[in-house]
Amino acid sequence: MKFANIFKSTVMAIRNSLKRFPITILISTSLVVLLITLIEKGSTFTDTTRDILERASLILALGIPLSVCVNLIFERRGEKNRTQIIFGHLIGAVFLIAYYFLFLSEINWISMTRYVGISIFFYLAFAFIPWIGKKDGYETYMIDVVSSFILTMIYSLVLFIGIVIILFTINQLFNVDIPDNFVLYTFIIIGGIFAPSNFLARIPLVKEDTYKKDYPKALKILLLYIVIPLITVYSIILYAYFLKIIITRDWPQGLVSHLVLWYSIVSVAVIYFITPILKDNKWAEKFKKFFPKFIIPILIMMFISMGIRISAYGLTENRYYGIVMGLWVTGIMLYFSFKKKQKNIIIPVSLAILTLVSVFGPLSSFSVSKFSQNKRLESILKRNQMLEGNKIIAKSNIPKEDKEEISMILSYFDNKHSLQDVKILDEGFKLTDKDMETVFGFPFTEKNIFDRKYLHYYTEYDLASIIDVKDYDYIINSNVLLNGERNIEDLTIFFQENGVFKILKEDLLLYEKDLGDYALTILGDYVNRSDEFRNILDPEDAILIDENDKVGVKFIISSISGQYDHINNQYNIDYIECFILIKIK
């Protein structure tokens, strides 16, 4: 009986969504039909027809959130005039057609990035349109919307798994040849018709200026007693790490920036969702009061990290988005810190506006990145006296690093934009060795992974077959000692993966050697070799003989691994593998 009630309520909910959002359901159903047609008949279409239909499917997918936004605008206004509602949807249709011809004339990296950006804008608009001009309860309303989305996903998943099991059972028991695509079609139909209908039916209809509903107990426990303590501990760890950075002056790059950024975004979401319980819970109130101020120094360090990266390599789209999201999070945290009367609707509204700005117009990621990389190219050329006005002077005797950077900048334009966007290049230039040598004086020079960001050197011969152990008492493979110790008679031997080696007798240090220092002295000679031999160690360099008045040691290095730091122009040795021969005097 309970199952029957659930089924009945689901059917009624879908029926209500058809009444409330008929245009949206029509668009999503059309999208399902078009996708199935492309899968079934796509191979019979010409390339042009298939391209048109693929772009049309993208436009239909964009029409789903747009049509919901149009509906919500009229609902918020209390408009019931069908003529005006239809006219509003016609304006939306005109927008989609214009977008198809202006921004989706072809499918490439830029058009798809813009498409994702405009889609995010409409989904964010869906989140705040019903609440424009209203008062209390926005966060509770959004909790209901998110809960409805999660519940819809669970229902859709269960329905999909159930149908797949039914198809599998029919196939196995009755030996019915069910086409493989039926499973895919089931997924598309559930995702494109059932899920949107079910979800839209669960969106609360807000007729008053406030929205009151009990705060979910499970969410309250999750945020207050699990998520907030984890964020607090994570913040303390970041403070400790940044204190280490200040002391060592080894500024963070790459991964650290991403970790701080995502943790900050999660923190904004947590503050957003705990707002309804601030008056009833002191822990939540203190967290919102103090955390936004507490995180500011961490965000400043994040910007320093990003600045180091941008200073070295210029802005690209990915770095642009990182900077923009960092600025947005910082702005929200400052808003929480100093604004007395706060409205959380500013979070989706500001993010939606920022999303549009980042993919359209003169401040978009594309425009800013092209400007930055053009300036960076001009700077490298001027540094090497290769630029007079806007004319490039060909030179072959410039540093290899600059050749690589010039090549990578041109490759960036060729892959992401167009070589015509490089201001100082003449029309018709192509990224070939011939054009590179004619214009710049050297062929396209690609960075080598081994001697740039990561490095690995090795000896080519089989060490085990040629080791001379005469005059030595012991031979040990460094892997046996890796980051540990080994006792031989009354000696204790240590070896760390970065090459630090020690021999102790009881508490007396008999011998100590840092093979990392030795590796650094020999690697400089390998950088300018040809690619074929650059990463092979000479046998002479692979052997180091050393001794003092207590012991004699012979190191036979089989490999050296590490990283090359472009910012500080230095090698960092991470791992050394070798055979160690020991003689006790």
Mind listing the pLDDT tens digit of every residue in the chain (585 residues)? 455 666 666 677 678 788 899 999 999 999 999 999 999 988 888 989 999 999 999 999 999 999 999 999 998 887 778 889 899 999 999 999 999 999 999 899 999 999 999 999 999 999 999 888 777 889 999 999 999 999 999 999 999 999 999 999 998 888 888 888 899 999 999 999 999 999 999 898 887 778 888 899 999 999 999 999 999 999 999 898 888 877 776 665 556 788 889 999 999 999 999 999 998 889 999 999 999 999 999 999 889 888 888 888 889 999 999 999 999 999 999 999 998 888 999 999 999 999 999 999 999 999 999 999 999 999 999 999 999 888 999 998 998 889 989 999 999 999 899 999 999 998 889 988 889 999 999 998 876 544 445 677 888 765 455 677 888 888 888 888 876 788 888 888 988 888 889 999 887 889 999 998 888 888 766 655 544 446 788 888 888 999 998 899 999 888 888 876 655 566 788 889 888 999 988
With b for 16 or more beta-carbon neighbours within 10 A and e for fewer, the 271-305 pattern comes to: bbbbbbbeeebeebeebbeebbebbeebbebbbeb
- Whether 283 and 140 map to the same domain: the answer is no
- Whether 279 and 407 map to the same domain: the answer is no
295 in any annotated domain: yes
The answer to whether the beta carbons of residues 559 and 458 sit under 8 Å apart is yes
Could you count the other beta carbons within 10 Å of the beta carbon of residue 214? 7
Residue-level pLDDT at 498: 80
Which ranges in 295-363 belong to alpha helices (H)? 296-313, 317-338, 346-359
330 in any annotated domain: yes
For 14: left if phi > 0, alpha if psi spans -120 to 50, otherwise beta; the answer is alpha
82-103 vs 47-77: helix axis angle to the nearest 10?
140
499 in any annotated domain: yes
| Number of domains into which the chain is organized | 4
468 in any annotated domain: yes
Of 203, 185, 186, 192, nearest to 24 by C-alpha is: 192
| CA–CA gap between residue 218 and residue 143 (Å, rounded) | 12
The answer to whether the beta carbons of residues 114 and 103 sit under 8 Å apart is yes
* 477: phi then psi, degrees, rounded to nearest 5: -85, 130
The answer to whether the beta carbons of residues 352 and 128 sit under 8 Å apart is yes
Residue-level pLDDT at 4: 61
- Whether 115 and 176 map to the same domain: the answer is yes
Q: Name the DSSP letter for residue 499.
A: S
Residues 6+ apart with CB under 8 A from 68: 21, 24, 122, 126, 200
| CA–CA gap between residue 535 and residue 459 (Å, rounded) | 9
- Our measurement of the distance from residue 557's CA atom to the centroid of its chain's CA atoms, rounded to an integer in Å, reads 38
- Whether 132 and 182 map to the same domain: the answer is yes
- Whether 320 and 420 map to the same domain: the answer is no
Task: Name the pairing type of β-strands 543-547 and 551-565.
Answer: antiparallel
Full domain range(s) for residue 489: 454-584
Of 360, 389, 416, the domain-final residue: 360
- Whether 460 and 556 map to the same domain: the answer is yes
Of 223, 329, 194, 318, nearest to 268 by C-alpha is: 329
Task: Name the pairing type of β-strands 474-477 and 491-495.
Answer: unpaired
- Whether 92 and 124 map to the same domain: the answer is yes
446 in any annotated domain: no
- Whether 65 and 43 map to the same domain: the answer is yes
141 in any annotated domain: yes
* Cα three-residue angle 503-504-508, rounded to 5 degrees: 140
- Whether 29 and 118 map to the same domain: the answer is yes
Residues 6+ apart with CB under 8 A from 360: 114, 117
Token pair, residue 528, equals 């300018």
- Whether 43 and 186 map to the same domain: the answer is yes
Q: Which of helix, strand or coil describes residue 252?
A: coil
- Whether 322 and 277 map to the same domain: the answer is yes
Of 316, 340, 360, the domain-final residue: 360
- Whether 98 and 152 map to the same domain: the answer is yes
Residue-level pLDDT at 466: 64
Q: What is this structure's pTM?
A: 0.75
Of 340, 360, 380, the domain-final residue: 360
| CA–CA gap between residue 477 and residue 532 (Å, rounded) | 28
| CA–CA gap between residue 35 and residue 29 (Å, rounded) | 10
Q: Which of helix, strand or coil describes residue 532?
A: coil
430 in any annotated domain: yes
The answer to whether the beta carbons of residues 373 and 317 sit under 8 Å apart is no
445 in any annotated domain: no
| CA–CA gap between residue 524 and residue 457 (Å, rounded) | 12
